[in-house]
Amino acid sequence: MAEDPWADYPDSGGWVVVLSPCVGCGHPFSYNPHLVPSVTIAGTRHPICQACVTRVNPLRRANGLPEIVPLAGAYEPLSESAL
């Protein structure tokens, strides 16, 4: 029977990072899939990176649209317990 490599770390939880290209700039970035801002195209959510949010917000304001305000933790790893 194999030894449990995590036996010495009973309280350590895992975490998940999702990495994919931004729909705005195409650069890969990591994010929490439950919290990241996104746009839905043909029924599929596409994540938006922080740099693109910062870039588009002045344009949104100028056009009378609300700013995109990312949720806290949107660009941080997702706790294993939140899966």
Q: Residue numbers of the site for Zn ion (CB under 5 A)?
A: 22, 24-25, 49, 52
Contact between 45 and 57 (Cβ < 8 Å) = no
For Zn ion, give the closer residue by CB, 22 or 74: 22
For Zn ion, give the closer residue by CB, 52 or 78: 52
Q: Which residue is nearest to Zn ion (CB)?
A: 22
Among 33, 31, 22, 35, which residue's Cα sits nearest to residue 75? 31
Minimum CB separation from Zn ion for residue 29, in Å? 7
Minimum CB separation from Zn ion for residue 36, in Å? 11
Minimum CB separation from Zn ion for residue 51, in Å? 5
Query: Which whole-number Å values give the CA distances from 73 to 2, 11, 33, 61, in the listed order?
Result: 36, 21, 10, 24
For Zn ion, give the closer residue by CB, 75 or 78: 75
Tell me, rounded to whole angstroms, the distance of Cα 43 from its chain centroid.
18
